[in-house]
């Protein structure tokens, strides 16, 4: 009510101003006794009685009412309803039966005229009784958007905005304009559905009127560019998107995309870096609806360009191309489909990688790249040029230093399975044709082998116990036979070799009962009579001879390395014809836990460790010159406490306590 009185007062002031503009004579209000007031209106059907009052009729030449359909009433003749010169002071009224329209608000005020100037009362309004209920005939546009203005067309509305209440989906709508036959209002942004009722309630109408309405369904008409990849910005053209960011959601391959610009007919988004599909569906949530466009676009396949035909493992390789994923974390480079390559640099057109160790059973590498859900292969192979090529790289066996042998052109080791909770010992066979490990379990009563030595087609196994500690194993029928026990003290990490049909065993240490003992004594076993005898001790005066290595050349055995924590340089040869040890030239550096073998009249040791480093070097010994020569490396890191065996006309080195890698010698490169 206060608001309406303030409005009427302001309108009255405007009217006085208008009067002064429409007439040359301005009301000066010098006659304090002459005032006029608007008393009210009585509506009866189509007739209206307007009431006013004047305080003094003297000097008043005319009085009556002004009526208009707008609040800013002018003093035009069309608005004036004159009652002539008043005969008396006090109340006055007039009943009008002219054709006032229903559902339209009229504004009026009482006036008096003095000396060609008007005085008016407050402006008030009236409205005839409504004819019929409101009727909705149409809504434009036929389908709307959140936050947009819609036009409701019909009849029996009203031009007086405060008398109109519009509900859109149960939420009060902001009204923009009203008239007898149309209402403009806004679709609320906080709607939760896409189909809803639009209801209009006009003051004094018996009940609201409603009709069904719905929001437009989002549609995609095009996507540009067509060769976009991860982190690129693409433009989605269509219709019925939202012009507010928070009201749009775009998902690509179930990954939410960042929206960088938006309008009703266009969305610009960034392709998510962690999208895993190259022909993804696009899901758009807008206008309280969700649409899915299957396989909306396709990321092009990359081209792999490699400017060289051969590599060494550990080399840096540059791969050129296009359409690479910008992050190597989501797009790995593979060699032979199973070796992930460490990446040094990554762009959309270049990959800088390190050639992994393998495995490379073909001694070649097919390079491939992960591209979304696909693996894309290079057209050509790369030759792996290492002298020792990794051909196996899985934790299939766990070697513990017991030894290896060759039978029927296959390599064997004593190992565990590689499973964390499996403590059983196995005889593990490497199938060099299929590059797989097979296992034969060792009987429970024969578990605990510490060292083996091959002599012909038979294997001799030592157990670190006082008696019943020496057995013969025949691979051809997987049988075991107990032999005469080893006569020396219990020991581990002993050295062993075979010469002239006999087995030699000695050195090592014993750490039982916290009383460590080191041994230099050596023994010889003769399978022909199942008997042991002793040979001279290793002549090193202060040497702790354990974890040493051996190889046999020209009917002589060579014993070297091993020793305490730092390893040792010493090497001795043993001549079985004289049962004597001879000091040879020292090793190039102290080493222990290495592997050793003989090949083509030369002796070799590889890998191992000393107190400073683990080594992956391989050294060649020439018995004619008693000299050592570096022959390269085996693998990219040391395999200390590993194993070696010969099979398929070459040499295999592997193991370490992890037992995952196995390297094959390429003889023509050695």
What pLDDT, in 10s, does the model give residues 364-402?
999 999 999 999 999 899 999 999 999 999 888 888 889
Residues 223 and 205 in one domain: no
The first and second tokens of residue 546, run together, are 């354990």
Predicted local confidence at residue 93, as pLDDT: 96
Predicted local confidence at residue 625, as pLDDT: 98
Query: What's the DSSP call for residue 485?
Result: P
Compute the distance between CA of residue 39 and CA of residue 328 in angstroms, rounded to an integer: 85
Torsion of CA 583, 588, 592, 593, to 10 degrees: -120
**DSSP reduced 3-state for 133:** coil
The CA angle 514-404-606, to the nearest 5 degrees, is 85
Beta strands in 55-194 (DSSP E): 62-68, 80-84, 90-96, 105-114, 117-120, 124-127, 135-140, 149-155, 164-168, 171-172, 175-178, 182-186
Q: How many domains does the chain have?
A: 5
In-domain check, residue 110: yes
Closest CA to 387 of 621, 666, 196, 65: 666
Query: What's the DSSP call for residue 5?
Result: H
Query: What's the DSSP call for residue 163?
Result: G
Cis peptide before 590 (omega within 30 of 0): no
Structural domain harbouring 332? 303-380
Compute the distance between CA of residue 6 and CA of residue 190 in angstroms, rounded to an integer: 34
39: CB partners within 8 A, 6+ apart: 51, 52, 53, 91, 93, 110, 121
In-domain check, residue 287: yes
Residues 159 and 244 in one domain: no
Instruction: Please state the length of the chain.
Output: 670
**214 φ/ψ angles, rounded to the nearest 5 degrees:** -150, 160
CATH code, domain with 123? 2.60.40.2060
Residues 118 and 196 in one domain: no
**DSSP reduced 3-state for 185:** strand
| Residues 535/516, Cβ–Cβ less than 8 Å | no
**16 φ/ψ angles, rounded to the nearest 5 degrees:** -60, -40
The model's pTM is 0.72
Predicted local confidence at residue 368, as pLDDT: 94
Range 188-192 contact pairs with CB under 8 angstroms and sequence separation of 24 or more: 188/146, 189/146, 189/147, 189/244, 189/247, 191/146, 191/215, 191/288, 192/288
Work out the widest C-alpha separation in the chain, in whole angstroms: 164
Element (DSSP H or E) covering residue 496: strand 495-499
User: Where is the domain boundary, 96, 127, 158?
Assistant: 127
**DSSP reduced 3-state for 614:** strand
CATH code, domain with 285? 2.60.40.10
Residues 543 and 434 in one domain: yes
| Residues 381/361, Cβ–Cβ less than 8 Å | no
Residues 179 and 79 in one domain: no
Predicted local confidence at residue 175, as pLDDT: 97
Predicted local confidence at residue 15, as pLDDT: 41
**DSSP reduced 3-state for 669:** helix
Residues 157 and 108 in one domain: no
Compute the distance between CA of residue 127 and CA of residue 16 in angstroms, rounded to an integer: 24
Q: Which residues of the chain have pLDDT under 70?
A: 1-32, 129-132, 206-207, 513, 541-544, 564-567, 610-612, 657-659
Predicted local confidence at residue 98, as pLDDT: 79
In-domain check, residue 298: no
In-domain check, residue 103: yes
Predicted local confidence at residue 206, as pLDDT: 62
User: Where is the domain boundary, 182, 214, 246?
Assistant: 214
CATH code, domain with 510? 2.120.10.80
The CA angle 341-345-349, to the nearest 5 degrees, is 100
**DSSP reduced 3-state for 19:** helix
Residues 24 and 120 in one domain: yes
In-domain check, residue 387: no
Torsion of CA 77, 82, 84, 87, to 10 degrees: -150
In sequence order, what are the beta bridge partners of 480? Answer: 473
Compute the distance between CA of residue 119 and CA of residue 114 in angstroms, rounded to an integer: 8
Predicted local confidence at residue 129, as pLDDT: 66
Dihedral sign, Cα of residue 108, residue 110, residue 113, residue 114: negative
In-domain check, residue 386: no
Residues 246 and 309 in one domain: no
Tokens 């009962």 map to which residue? 513
Residues 192 and 86 in one domain: no
Compute the distance between CA of residue 230 and CA of residue 280 in angstroms, rounded to an integer: 12
Query: What's the DSSP call for residue 21?
Result: H
Query: What's the DSSP call for residue 650?
Result: E
Residues 289 and 310 in one domain: no
In-domain check, residue 64: yes
Predicted local confidence at residue 556, as pLDDT: 98
CB atoms within 10 A of CB 100: 17
Predicted local confidence at residue 187, as pLDDT: 98
Compute the distance between CA of residue 510 and CA of residue 353 in angstroms, rounded to an integer: 48
Residues 243 and 117 in one domain: no
Compute the distance between CA of residue 154 and CA of residue 178 in angstroms, rounded to an integer: 11
User: Where is the domain boundary, 275, 293, 311?
Assistant: 293
In-domain check, residue 385: no
Radius of gyration (C-alpha) of the chain in whole angstroms: 52
How far is CA 568 from each of CA 127, 139, 377, 545, 609, rounded to the nearest angstrom?
A: 117, 98, 49, 9, 10
Residues 191 and 289 in one domain: no
């Amino acid at each position: 009510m206060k608001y309406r009185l303030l409005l009427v007062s302001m309108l009255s002031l405007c009217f006085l101003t208008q009067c002064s503009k429409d007439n040359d004579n301005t009301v000066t209000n010098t006659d304090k006794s002459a005032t006029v007031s608007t008393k009210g209106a009585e509506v009866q059907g189509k007739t209206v009685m307007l009431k006013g009052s004047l305080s003094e009729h003297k000097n008043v030449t005319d009085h009556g009412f002004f009526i208009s359909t707008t609040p800013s009433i002018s003093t035009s003749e069309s608005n004036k309803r004159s009652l002539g010169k008043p005969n008396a002071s006090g109340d006055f009224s007039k009943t009008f039966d002219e054709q006032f329209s229903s559902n339209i608000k009229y504004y009026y005020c009482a006036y008096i005229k003095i000396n060609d100037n008007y005085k008016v009362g407050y402006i008030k309004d009236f409205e005839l009784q409504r004819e019929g209920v409101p009727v909705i005939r149409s809504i434009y546009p036929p389908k709307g958007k959140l936050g947009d203005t819609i036009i409701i067309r019909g009849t029996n509305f009203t031009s007086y905005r405060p008398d109109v209440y519009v509900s859109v989906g149960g939420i009060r709508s902001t009204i923009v304009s009203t008239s007898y036959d149309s209402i403009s209002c806004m679709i609320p942004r906080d709607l939760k559905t896409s189909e809803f009722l639009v209801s209009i309630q006009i003051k004094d109408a018996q009940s609201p009127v409603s009709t069904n309405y719905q929001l437009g369904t989002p549609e995609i008409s095009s996507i540009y560019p067509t060769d976009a990849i991860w982190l690129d910005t693409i433009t989605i053209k269509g219709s019925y998107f939202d012009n507010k960011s928070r009201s749009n959601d775009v998902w690509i391959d179930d990954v939410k995309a960042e929206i960088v610009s938006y309008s009703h007919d266009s969305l610009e988004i960034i392709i998510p870096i962690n999208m895993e599909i190259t022909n993804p569906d696009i899901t758009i949530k807008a206008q309280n609806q969700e649409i899915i466009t299957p396989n909306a676009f396709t990321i092009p396949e990359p081209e792999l360009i490699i400017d060289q035909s051969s590599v060494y493992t550990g080399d840096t390789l540059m791969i050129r191309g296009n359409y690479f994923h910008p992050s190597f974390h989501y797009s790995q480079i593979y060699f032979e489909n199973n070796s992930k390559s460490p990446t040094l640099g990554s762009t959309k057109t270049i990959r800088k990688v390190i050639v992994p160790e393998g495995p490379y059973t073909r001694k070649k590498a097919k390079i491939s790249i992960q591209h979304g859900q696909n693996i894309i292969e290079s057209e050509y192979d790369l030759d792996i040029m290492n002298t020792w090529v990794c051909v196996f790289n899985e934790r299939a066996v766990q070697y513990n230093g017991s030894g290896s042998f060759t039978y029927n052109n296959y390599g064997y080791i004593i190992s565990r399975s590689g499973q964390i909770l499996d403590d059983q010992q196995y005889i593990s066979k490497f199938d060099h044709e299929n590059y797989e490990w097979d296992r034969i379990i060792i009987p429970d009563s024969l578990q605990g082998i510490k060292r083996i030595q091959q002599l012909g087609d038979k294997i001799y196994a030592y157990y670190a116990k006082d008696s019943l500690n020496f057995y013969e194993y025949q691979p051809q029928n997987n049988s075991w036979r107990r032999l005469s026990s080893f006569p020396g003290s219990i020991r581990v990490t002993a050295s062993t070799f075979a010469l002239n049909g006999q087995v030699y065993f000695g050195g090592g240490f014993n750490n039982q009962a916290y009383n460590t003992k080191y041994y230099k004594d050596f023994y010889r076993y003769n399978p022909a009579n199942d008997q042991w005898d002793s040979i001279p001790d290793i002549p090193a005066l202060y040497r702790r001879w354990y974890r040493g290595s051996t190889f046999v050349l020209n009917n002589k055995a060579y014993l070297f390395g091993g020793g305490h924590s730092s390893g040792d340089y010493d090497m001795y040869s043993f001549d079985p014809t004289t049962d004597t040890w001879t000091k040879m030239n020292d090793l190039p550096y102290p080493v222990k836990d290495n592997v050793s073998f003989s090949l083509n009249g030369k002796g070799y040791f590889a890998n191992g460790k000393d107190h400073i480093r683990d080594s992956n070097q391989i050294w060649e010994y020439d018995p004619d010159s008693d000299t050592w020569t570096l022959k390269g490396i085996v693998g990219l890191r040391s395999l200390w406490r590993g194993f070696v065996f010969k099979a398929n006309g070459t040499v295999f080195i592997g193991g370490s306590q992890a037992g995952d890698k196995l390297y094959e010698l390429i003889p023509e490169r050695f």
